[in-house]
Amino acid sequence: MTDLDPDFIGLPLAALEEAALEAMAAVPHLEYGDLRVHRDRLEAIHVRDRDLISLTDSEPMGFGVRLVVDGSLGFAASSDLSPGSVARAVRDAAAVAGQLRPLLDERVRLAPEPAHRATWVAQVEVDPFRLATDSKVGQLLEWSQAGLLAGARFAEAYCLSVKEQRLFVSSEGTRTVQQRVRVHPVLEVGLIDERGSGLMETMRSTARPVARGWEYVEQHQFAAEAPQLVEWLAEKLAAPSVTAGPHDLVLDPSNLWLTIHESVAHGTELDRALGYEANFAGTTFATPDLVGSLRYGSAAMHVTGDRLEPFGLATVAFDDEGVEAQRWDIIRDGVLVGYQLNRQMALRFGDGRSNGCAFADSWSHLPLQRMPNVSLQPDPRHDTSLEELISGVGEGIYVVGDKSWSIDQQRYNFQFTGQRFYRIHQGRLAGQLRDVAYQSKTPDFWGRLEAVGGPSSWILEGAMNCGKGQPEQVAPVSHGCPPAIFRQVNVLNTRREGR
């Protein structure tokens, strides 16, 4: 799929654009204005065992208008896609800006950005919204039934598909039209822990959401993976419990991505560092005065932000402020060197230009500074494989998959667990362990990073549901990373801790 949907092109986009720009031109003291028109498709299929549990299909559609008038920000939105509604929204946004002006401690200023005029459509082989719903439901039922036939006590499958279409127009001359598709397939199986707690234990596929079409769902072959998940889970339930204490860890990308997300990506949002998220989700220890000096991790740590990575969940050509997609360093040689920035935060940081981190999850919400794809880069000198990393560990633990996590409000103290844990003995995997979680402080943990895998071991992971803001907005984000060795990280026995 390389073309814009006819249904989106058929909307009165030109008339809405003309109405917005004409109304903005009539606003006294206007410094900036933009119009965002959204049309989204969302489909969620959920099956359990042999039954369809739920099927939802929605199409939220509307527009939002944002103005900066005499240094004050105003916003208005509507689901009425008519020129008259857009003109009213511009007037309403100007009125909101006027009401807020006496409350301002400082003027709202946006970093400059060149005008852009472009259309961008993400490459997708199979549009999930052009497939028969019965066919997709049948595929998910096939996955869950394969788990039941392999001995699972329950099996569950889920898939969320999203198509996002947007028109952005600004008073600065930018006009962009964009379309992208994302899918998030999940398969989970469960068994009874008959030797331990007697409770249900579960294991999920490590397949992650991506900005691709239904071809990704079909290529993963979930029905073939289901018996393997049941086998792995049975082996885990029969495995010995881990001995707590310091252990060398090899973290698979399917586990490490979430640690990156929580301890690095959220920790390097400038609005959080300046206190804008303190009420809802905390601040960060990585404050602006430490840029260029904070030792975030070892010299093997190179973290970038980008909106460019192919199939990345946060990949676009332009963000929701009309800023062109970029790639930049956040941590280089283990040292904090940059932040994630939208146009307002870019001036607060003194950087001069946003790096494209504005996103709104709905036409009815203001764009917030949101996470791009934030990734740990592989070793550029050696294409080290996962097997080679494991061979370099005498005694340790190899962790696969993500499960639960906990981190404090300064992104400093954390605890993570996973789906599967393998003992490493003399450089080889020696069966599974259970009850494993690792705990550390962010700079101490990343300071224990000894080595990362090479380019061929780098995998793109991520999540569809990163939450931020009040009212809360949900954003999709990818995190690429290779496997990595961390030396002597504190490991907890979760069974004993639970007691």
DSSP string, 210-240: BS--HHHHHHH-HHHHHHHHHHHHHHHHTSP
DSSP-derived letter for residue 434 is B
Cα 103 to chain centroid distance, Å, stands at: 34
Q: What is the dihedral of CA 84, 90, 94, 97, to 10 degrees?
A: 130
Q: 77 forms bridges with which residues in the sheet?
A: 64
pLDDT at position 197, please?
77
pLDDT at position 498, please?
79
pLDDT at position 2, please?
61
pTM of the model: 0.96
pLDDT at position 3, please?
87
- What is the Cα–Cα distance from 477 to 340, expressed in whole angstroms? 13
Question: C-alpha angle with apex 430: 425 to 431, nearest 5 degrees?
Answer: 145
Nearest to 180 by CA among 432, 2, 380: 2
pLDDT at position 296, please?
98
Question: C-alpha angle with apex 163: 328 to 225, nearest 5 degrees?
Answer: 85
pLDDT at position 351, please?
72
pLDDT at position 422, please?
98
In the block, residue with structure tokens 């995190």: 479
Domains of the chain, each with CATH number or no CATH: 6-237 (3.30.2290.10), 245-498 (no CATH)
Instruction: Enumerate residue ranges in the chain where pLDDT < 50.
Output: none
Backbone angles phi, psi at 320, to 5 degrees: -85, 15
pLDDT at position 195, please?
78
